[in-house]
Amino acid sequence: MSENPFTSLSRLMHEPNRLAIISALAAAVDGLSFSELKEACCLTDGNLNRHLKALEEEAIIAQHKDTLEGKRPRTTITLTPEGRKRFVKYLATLEEVLAQAAASVGSPSPAGSVPRLRPGQV
Q: Give contact residues for a second copy (rule: CB under 8 A).
A: 4, 6-7, 9, 11, 14, 16-17, 19-20, 22-24, 26-27, 41-42, 84, 87-88, 91, 94-95, 97-98, 100-107, 109-110, 112-113, 116-117, 121-122
Residue 68 C-beta: closest distance to a second copy, Å: 28
Nearer to a second copy, 60 or 71 (CB): 60
- Amino acid letter, 26: A
CA dist list (Å): 4 to 8, 23, 75, 89, 100: 7, 24, 39, 15, 10
What are 61's strand-pairing partners?
79
